Amino acid sequence: MINKEEIVKDFPILDRKVNGKKLVYFDNAATTQKPLSVINAISDYYKIYNANPHRGAHTLSVEATEAYEQTRNKVAKFINARSEQEIIFTKNTTEALNLVAYSYVNNNLTSDDEITICITEHHSNLIPWQQIAIRKGAKINYMYVDSDGILSVDEIKNKITDKTKVVCIAHVTNTFGIVNPVEEIVSIAHEKGAIVVIDGAQSTPHMKIDVQKLDADFFAFSGHKMLAPMGVGVLYGKKELLKNMTPFLYGGDMIEYVSEQTTTFAELPFKFEAGTQNVEAVVGLSSAIDYIEKIGYEYIEEQERELTEYALEKLNQIDDVIIYGSKNIENKVGVISFNVKDVHPHDTATILDRYGIAIRSGHHCAQPFMKHLDLNSTCRISFYFYNTKEEIDIFIDAIKKVRGHMGYGTK
Ligand code: PMP
């Protein structure tokens, strides 16, 4: 039996005060907080074995290399990749997706081809494809969702055509937290001979990922959204695809042999990791995976489901609150988008901050989706397993006061 109070104590920042109030951190989709074990792992790295990996013959460099490569191995097992050669460390999800865009799609797309993406995509999983499409004179085919943010199988079948070469889709959307039918998308895309790139930035923190079961060709995620530090992300790719791809960045540590006029490149995965890597973040990622595996995805999912159900029920009772997106808890992670009637989301977020509550407001890096829904911006709360119902109560009390702060009456 996992004790929630003990869990909360693992996160020192949750004990701090903001504007004289205890912090309520509901911006986990932007980045999660870090447990002491992760903070200590980074500090130990600098105190005990900081060195540049893969380069030195000395003990510190060997230890740093071991920590770095053992994490690669751990990540491969964590997402059930066939081999650690399929795991490339990047800076974040954004860099991982750009790597696929420039090293694979750029070399395999013609002006007759199409890239299919969903209108809900985060800009990180939209602009790279858009820019490659512009460069190649190819077309971007958008799959549209209904007003709840749900993507239908008919729409998927209509938009993945014989011309589609690449399908790019978020596993979970960052705006409404909707879990997309990625296995169905992969199967339809593969029937048409297209490859599938899954943006796992919002799914990996919340659910067990099995890239073999998903049959994803590429899968990207960020460490910082799952307890690890900023500055490390992961690109998983099927080995047969990665093997034939050109490097994304050129420089030290990714070469086999360099002569004056030509270069041959290192084996996988090193040909994609040019220059000194973010070892402290990789060490932190290793510790973050240990933490997640210790508490387990079952606990994470159960906590988030309870919190989301509770928050939706409480928010639903407030007439002045408009909730966006599907409320079907079976198909959703702990992300709720909403607005307080007549109040700009930035005002709502600023007022909540006075109560120590951190939420996100804006277009959530999804401007085409906002436009599709005829929305300008929304407020977004997003939970992680360390949040509590008591924090939701504090949030609900504060939300009821927002219109009053703006000089409106409450209905
Ligand atoms: N995709 C989705 C769905 C996201 O939510 C985010 C982060 N908000 C990203 C991609 C980009 O992640 P990062 O900034 O870590 O590269």
Residue 264's beta-bridge partner residues?
257
Q: ∠ CA(371), CA(205), CA(86), 5° rounding?
A: 100
Whether 223 contacts 277, CB under 8 Å = no
Task: Give distance in angstroms: CA of 124 to centre of ligand 1.
Answer: 6
- The CATH T-level fold of domain 49-293 is Aspartate Aminotransferase; domain 2 (3.40.640)
Q: 220 alpha carbon to ligand 1 midpoint, in Å?
A: 10
Q: What percent of the chain has pLDDT over 90?
A: 97
Pocket-testing residue among 94, 172, 219, ligand 1, by greatest number of atoms within 8 A of Cβ:
94
Question: Distance, CA 49 to ligand 1 centroid (Å)?
Answer: 31
Compute the distance from residue 320 Cα to the ligand 1 centre, in Å. 30
pLDDT at 56: 77
CA distance 21 to 354: 8
φ, ψ for residue 268, nearest 5 deg: -65, 145
Q: If you take atom 5 of ligand 1, which residue's CA is the nearest one?
A: 174
pLDDT of res. 213: 98
What b/e readout covers 214-229, taking b as 16+ CB neighbours within 10 angstroms? bbbbbbbbbbbbbbbb
Catalytic member of 118, 168, 365, 379: 365
- The correct CATH number of 4-28+296-405 out of 3.40.50.720, 1.10.1740.10, 3.90.1150.10, 3.40.50.620 is 3.90.1150.10
Residue nearest to atom 3 of ligand 1 (CA): 174
Give the model's pLDDT for residue 410: 54
Query: How close is the Cα of 70 to the center of ligand 1, in Å?
Result: 25
- Cα–Cα distance, 256 to 232 (Å, whole number): 24
Rounded to an integer, what distance in angstroms lies between the CA atom of residue 195 and that of residue 217?
A: 6
Ligand 1 atom closest to 173 (CA): 3
User: Residue 92 CA: which ligand 1 atom is closest?
Assistant: 16
- Of 91, 119, 180, 222, the residue with max ligand 1 atoms within 8 A of its CB, to mutate for a pocket test, comes to 222
Q: Which residues of the chain have pLDDT under 50?
A: none
Residues 283 and 42 sit within 8 Å (Cβ to Cβ): yes
| Candidate of 118, 120, 124 to mutate for ligand 1, largest count of ligand atoms within 8 Å of Cβ | 124
pLDDT digits (tens, 9 = 90+) for 3-25: 999 999 999 999 999 999 999 99
The binding-site residues of ligand 1, defined as CB within 6 angstroms of any ligand atom, are 92-94, 122, 124-125, 170, 174, 199, 201-202, 222, 365
Token reading at 41 = 């792992």
Q: How far apart are CA 379 and CA 273, in angstroms?
A: 37
Q: Atom of ligand 1 at shortest distance to CA of 364?
A: 8
Please state the atom number of ligand 1 nearest to the C-alpha of residue 224: 15
Domain boundaries, the chain: 4-28+296-405, 49-293
Q: What is the pLDDT of residues 316-331, one digit of tens each?
A: 999 999 999 999 999 9
pLDDT score for 404: 95
Q: How many other β-carbons are positioned within 10 Å of the β-carbon of residue 117?
A: 24
Strand partners, 256: none
Whether the CB-CB separation of 255 and 263 falls below 8 Å is answered with: yes
Distance, in Å, from the CA atom of 411 to the CA atom of 403, rounded to the nearest integer, reads 10
Report CA(28)–ligand 1 centroid distance (Å).
12
Q: Cα dist. 279→135, 146, 287 in Å?
A: 34, 43, 12
Tell how far the Cα of 183 is from the centroid of ligand 1, in angstroms.
21
The residue whose CA is least distant from atom 12 of ligand 1 is 93
Residue 31 C-alpha from the chain's centroid: 9
C-alpha 27 to ligand 1 mean position (Å): 13
Please report the pLDDT score of residue 336 as a whole number: 98
pTM of the predicted protein model:
0.97
Cα–Cα distance for residue pair 153/184, rounded to 1 Å: 8
- Asked whether 144 and 156 are in contact (CB, 8 A), the reply is no
Q: How are beta strands 233-237 and 87-90 bridged, if at all?
A: antiparallel
| 365 is an active site residue | yes
For residue 230, which atom of ligand 1 is closest to its CA?
15
From 100, 122, 206, give the residue whose CB has the most ligand 1 atoms within 8 Å, as the site to mutate.
122
Measured between alpha carbons, how far is 245 from 76 in angstroms, rounded to an integer? 20
| Residues in contact with 68: Cβ distance below 8 Å, sequence separation at least 6, in sequence order | 53, 54, 277, 279, 282, 283
What's the rounded Cα separation, in Å, for the pair 145 and 142?
Answer: 10
Q: What is the 3-state secondary structure (H, E, C) of the chain?
A: CCCHHHHHHCCHHHHCEECCEECEECECCCCCCCCHHHHHHHHHHHHHHCCCCCCCCCHHHHHHHHHHHHHHHHHHHHCCCCCHHHEEEECCHHHHHHHHHHHHHHHHCCCCCEEEEECCCCHHHCHHHHHHHHHHCCEEEEECCCCCCCCCHHHHHHHCCCCEEEEEEECECCCCCEECCHHHHHHHHHHCCCEEEEECCCCCCCCCCCHHHHCCCEEEEEHHHHCCCCCCEEEEECHHHHHCCCCCCCCCCCEEEECCCCEEECCCCHHHCCCCCCHHHHHHHHHHHHHHHHHCHHHHHHHHHHHHHHHHHHHHCCCCEEEECCCCHHHECCEEEEEECCCCHHHHHHHHHHCCEECEEECCCCHHHHHHCCCCCEEEEECCCCCCHHHHHHHHHHHHHHHHHCCCCCC
